[in-house]
Amino acid sequence: MRSTRGFSLIELLIVVAIILVIAAIAIPSLLQAKISANEASAVGSLRAMTSAEAAYYTAYPSVGYATSITQLGGATPCTPTSATSCLIDNYLATSTTGSGGKSGYFFQATGVITGGASAFDAYVIGTAPITMFRTGNHDYCSANDGVLRSQIGTAGDTPVTVIATCLAYPVAQ
């Protein structure tokens, strides 16, 4: 009498093949979902930084806008000064190029003096994916007009630090 316990090798191979086909279909969708989440986080962080720049300008009119992203944050416990205004989370304030970034993106804020102004009367905020087409597909920026702009990035991009470059980006939809 022959035992009928267990699975045959063919049955196991068929199950493994089915699992591999399902994984091949699901993994790209999961990666795209992660990229979409990273981009949404980058846009939200950029909007928070835009609001922080306006608050900084109001709080420190003799300085104008913040000259760098670090002036918008501050380590806990944070005491507001023009050097560390405590307007954004310090994790975001330290997510610059060369750091670990935040949600797959690097960030940069740059204060600009235009014309004969004595204070920083303009700014540009930029963000770029840490690894293009893996952590994000778009570069984002905003200048003191508060308009969010974006473009498809290229490998090795860094956050925008020049207003004219940001203004050349198409307006984000």
- Mapped onto helix, strand or coil, the DSSP state of residue 35 is helix
The amino acid at 114: T
The dihedrals phi and psi of 149, each to the nearest 5 degrees, come to: -125, 155
Please tell me the distance from the alpha carbon of residue 37 to that of residue 5, in angstroms, as a whole number: 47
Structure-derived torsion over alpha carbons of residues 173, 94, 31, 166, reported in degrees to the nearest 10: 30
In the chain, how many domains are there?
1
Is residue 100 domain-resident?
yes
Asked whether residue 1 is domain-assigned, the answer is: no
Mean pLDDT value of segment 87-112: 96
Cα torsion 52, 73, 103, 120: sign: positive
pLDDT band of 116, cuts 50, 70, 90: confident
Q: Which two tokens stand for residue 62?
A: 């003799």
**pLDDT, tens digit, for every residue of 123-135?**
999 999 999 999 9
In a domain, 2, yes or no: no
pLDDT of residue 39: 97
For 40-49, the pLDDT digits (tens) are 999 999 999 9
Which tens digit of pLDDT belongs to each residue from 118-161? Answer: 999 999 999 999 999 999 999 999 999 999 999 999 999 999 99
Domain that holds residue 13: 9-168
Task: Count helices and strands (H / E) in the chain.
Answer: 3, 4
